[in-house]
Amino acid sequence: MLHVSDDGSGQREVIARKLKREAEVWSKLKHNNILPFIGVCIDLAPSPVLISPFYEFGHVGSYLEEHPQINRGDIVRGVTSGLQYLHNNEIIHGDLKLQNVLVDKRGIPCICDFGISKIVNRAGFTTASVGTVPYMAPELFLVLDKNATEIYHPTTTKASDVYSFGLLVLEILTSEMLKGRPRQPIITLNIFENLHPKRADYDTEIVSDEIWGVLEQCWDFEPHGRPNISQIARRLEPLL
């Protein structure tokens, strides 16, 4: 739920535009694994808000803490299906993370928060935000001591969503915080070169070598080297 603050007309206009933009993206999405959009309310609070159902389980991390024996493969399938739907409709989420997957009363995961999502090749749907730092793909970081050949203008893509998806799946399967991920978007070359999750940090009884192999494809340093989410879905399905 997004509130428009009252700290100046200029700031209100900026936030109002963002709210309108999010509503335009979100309101058109109809899928079992996407948080339903109910509407915009202008008289519930001092400023407009976006309305959605309330999910008492909260985000998927909290849900898994309370239900550790749940079939995590089903959760992964649901998130995969939701992301497939977005990408098939030319929408880049831009901020996939544990907190942006809610769980409904049936135990179904639903992707939420389309505040920085964008529509591919649609004017007016670009954003300067590149998501939450620990989940960011390598191309979205500013590397201090890397020989730059072009001006730094990072932008989220379907490929960066796939990278974040791989990290999210790792958290869902293990209920462990991501290891060794930066907390700031500006990093050194040494940190950049060690972004790749390490197999030795994760129990093979929890994340099989076969699943790890698929996730590694999501984490290819080069965006064009990552499979699309439909390819990932086909490779993960028999392993979950």
- Domains of the chain, first to last: 56-239 (1.10.510.10)
pLDDT band per the 50, 70, 90 thresholds, residue 121: low
CB 177 within 8 A of CB 210: no
Tens-digit pLDDT profile for residues 171-206: 999 999 999 999 999 999 999 999 999 999 999 999
Query: What are the C-alpha distances in Å from 32 to residues 49, 103, 138, 171?
Result: 23, 11, 31, 22
pLDDT of residue 200: 95
Query: What are the C-alpha distances in Å from 185 to residues 131, 143, 149?
Result: 10, 9, 19
pLDDT of residue 127: 55
Active site residues: 95
Cβ-Cβ contacts under 8 Å for 149 (sequence gap 6 or more): none
Tens-digit pLDDT profile for residues 64-99: 999 999 999 999 999 999 999 999 999 999 999 999
- The whole-number average pLDDT for the span 136-156 is 82
Tens-digit pLDDT profile for residues 7-50: 556 666 666 677 777 788 888 899 999 999 888 777 766 667 78
Query: What pTM does this model have?
Result: 0.88
Reduced to 3 states (helix: H, G, I; strand: E, B; else coil), residue 101 is strand
Task: Single out the residue of 124, 117, 116 nearest to residue 87, CA to CA.
Answer: 117
Task: Single out the residue of 201, 16, 236 nearest to residue 2, CA to CA.
Answer: 16
Using left for φ > 0, alpha for ψ between -120 and 50, and beta otherwise, residue 61 falls in alpha
| Amino acid (one-letter) located at 7 | D
DSSP label of 140? G
Question: What does the block give as tokens for 113?
Answer: 């928060």
- What is the spatial distance between Cα 76 and Cα 107, in angstroms, rounded to a whole number? 12
